[in-house]
Amino acid sequence: MLTKILSISEKPGLYRLVSTGKNLNIVESLIDGKRIPIYLTEKVIALSDVSIYTTESDVPLREVLSKIKEKENGEKASIGKKSSSKEIFAFFEEVLPTYDKDKVYASDVKKIISWYNALIDANIDFEKIESQNGDQENDSSEELDNNDK
């Protein structure tokens, strides 16, 4: 589901991709539902393309959001954006203990927490992943092994 959720540089909040065109995309704000055009010159990133640096390898944002959801029991994050850097990093270390302390900044963690809260408020199921043909599949769904038959 995160392939259609966008962060747009210099615009607050998150946006859902509504339609694509030759020179622009139409997006809808997750906050107020207003639709706006986004031109090709604007810096846009899909949340599915975001990953977090760790000491081992990069972790997709979807996994980090799922860990926050597990920690918060499906509720909004208990830590606010006005929290100190020390509190923010303590929270994030509980979620992702192996994050790279040299490459992940407090502003990054604040953004992740605000994205998480926006997705929870909009009832977006970020744990679903999209297959190649655009269908959504739940990451925890069982795969059938037809080789055993």
State how far the Cα of 132 lies from the Cα of 118, in Å rounded to an integer.
26
Does residue 24 share a domain with residue 66? no
Residue 107: domain span:
50-121
Residue 50 has pLDDT above 80, yes or no: yes
CA 130 to chain centre: 14
pLDDT at 129: 65
Neighbours of 112 (CB within 10 A): 23
- The answer to whether 41 touches 33, Cβ cutoff 8 Å, is no
Does residue 76 share a domain with residue 25? no
pTM of the model: 0.81
Residue 130 has pLDDT above 70, yes or no: no
What is the token pair recorded at 108?
């990054």
Give start and end residues of each alpha helix (H) in the chain. 61-71, 85-95, 106-121
Residue with tokens 């992740």: 112
What is the token pair recorded at 26?
């139409």
CATH no. for residue 27? 2.30.30.730
- The three-state secondary structure class of 40 is coil
CATH no. for residue 88? 1.10.10.1650
Does residue 110 share a domain with residue 57? yes
